[in-house]
A and B are shown apart, each in its own frame.
Chain A
């Protein structure tokens, strides 16, 4: 079974509008972390935002926010005021287990959502 599911292969949004990219995850570990990355057509992966399983507040970073619903096991990325430069692939990823284990930094990745921002 997929541990990270991104159900939207492709999304369109109008410039200046908000968009939500879905991510659901599956883990039985109480300690985990969720990451979102952006990959423009140039290919480089860019870290956007992080949410820890014990974090009380939803993470925010500028125009990015994470809608974390723990009971539903969802960690949706919200991009406000979309810009043309937001057109890219977006990946959700999860680290399972406590972060202080020296060899436990690997991530489980979703298949990504392709976002196109229309002018």
Chain B
């Protein structure tokens, strides 16, 4: 079974702190994604990576950065957390090649609260 794990289910941080959200997948997937999910706004793509050390901005990259030093790990960094970054953060991964129906596999999510 494909497994995508995220470092924390719940996280509480203070305004201005540097926050690291870690995501690890065990299926040798090339593509990894970070989303945030807010009520009424659906899933919004923050960043994605299609290879080690490769990254592309999604729809809402401001205030975030990412790191992908190893294929299985994709980190989301909030350089200076703000209250408007309180949200559910979802990590996903998928193959880079192969059948077009191959879906994105999701982690359980991290609910981040910034106070």
Contact = CB atoms under 8 A, between A and B. Distances in A.
Contact of B97 (A44, A102, A111, A112): A102
Interface residues of B, number: 35
B88 to A, nearest CB: 7
A35 interface: yes
B6 to A, nearest CB: 11
Contacts, number: 65
Could you tell me the dominant secondary structure of chain A's interface residues? loop
Given A111-B40, A112-B42, A102 B100 contact: no
A44 B33 contact: no
B43 A103 contact: no
B56 A103 contact: yes
A9 B30 CA distance: 34
A102 to B, nearest CB: 5
B52 interface: no
A2 to B, nearest CB: 10
Interface residues of A, number: 23
A99 B103 contact: no
B48 A106 contact: yes
A105 B31 CA distance: 7
Interface of B: 30-31, 33, 40-45, 48, 50-51, 54, 56, 58, 88, 90, 92, 94-109, 111
